[in-house]
Amino acid sequence: AHPTLTPPAFTSRVVPVIVITDVAQAVPLAQALLDGGVDVMEITLRHAAGLPAIEAVARAVPQMHVGAGTVTRADEVRRVKDAGASFALSPGMTDALVQAAFDAELPFMPGVMTPGEVMRARDHGFRLVKLFPAEQAGGLGMLKALGGPLGDMRFCPTGGVSVDNMGAFLRLPNVAMVGGSWLTPVALLEAGRWDEVTRLARAAMGIAADVAS
C-alpha cells in the first residue's frame, strides 16, 4: 500500500491529543509519556509552538512516534513532514489535504463524521480514519452502527473520550485506538508536572491492557 495509507507502527492504543504552548515542554512531555508506556503523540498545530515541538521530539526522542494534529490545510502537510512528523491527523478530510498527503508520502488519518465521509475516505484507499467529534457523532452507538455496512473500516474515535469510557470504545471490534486530551491537560504541561502525566499514561495503558486480555 502507498505510505500515506499505511498507519504508523506505534503500540499504544491511546493517542494523546496535545496542545503545547511552549516548545520547552515537548521533550520532557515525550519522555513522561514514554515512561508511562505511551509511544505516540498527536501534537496539534493549534498553537505556534506546535510545529517546533514536533521538530524537537522528532530530533531528540527517536522512540516516540510523533504525529501532527489539527492539520486542516494542504500546505501544512509538507511543513509537518519537514519538521519530522511521522504521520498527520485531521479533524476532517478535503481532497486537497488527501492529495497533499499522497504527494508528501506522509501517513495520514483523515477525520470523518458521517457514513458518506467514511465511504469517501475508503474511496481514497484509507482503512483507518479518525471519528471526530466522536461523542457528538454518536459515540459507541455510532461506531456500532457504522460497523454493519462499513465493517471493513477501522476508527480512532476522538473528542469526548476519557479515562471513564476509553475501555468501552476499545472493546468495539472496529475501534483500533482512541484519541483524547485527558492525558495531557495544558495546565499540567505548563506546570511541568511530568510525573502526573506519566501516572495518567500508565492508568490509560492499564485499561487498554485489561481490554486486550
Q: Which three cell numbers stand for residue 135?
A: 461523542
Cα–Cα distance between 166 and 48 in angstroms, integer? 29
Decide: is 174 part of the binding site for ligand 3PG (CB under 6 A): no
Minimal distance, residue 4 CB to ligand 3PG, in Å: 22
Considering the complex, state which of residue 85 and residue 161 has its C-beta at the smaller distance from ligand 3PG.
161
Number of neighbouring beta carbons within 10 Å of residue 86: 19
In what order do the strands lie in the sheet containing 87-89?
A: 108-109, 87-89, 65-69, 40-44, 14-18, 178-180
Minimal distance, residue 45 CB to ligand 3PG, in Å: 12
Prior bond to 133 cis, omega within 30? yes
Decide: is 110 part of the binding site for ligand 3PG (CB under 6 A): no
Residue 42 appears among annotated catalytic residues: yes
Determine which residue in the list 181, 196, 202, 205 makes contact with ligand 3PG, applying CB under 6 A.
181
Neighbouring C-alpha atoms within 13 Å toward the C-beta of 138: 10
**CA–CA distances in Å: residue 158 to residues 104, 132, 171:** 25, 5, 15
Decide: is 50 part of the binding site for ligand 3PG (CB under 6 A): no
Decide: is 26 part of the binding site for ligand 3PG (CB under 6 A): no
Ramachandran area for residue 8 (φ above 0: left; ψ -120 to 50: alpha; else beta): beta
Annotated active-site residue in 42, 55, 76, 135: 42
Residue 130 appears among annotated catalytic residues: yes
Decide: is 160 part of the binding site for ligand 3PG (CB under 6 A): yes
Annotated active-site residue in 76, 81, 130, 135: 130
One symbol per residue from 113 to 152: x for binding ligand 3PG (CB under 6 A), - otherwise; what is it? -------------------x--------------------
Catalytic residue positions, numbered: 42, 130
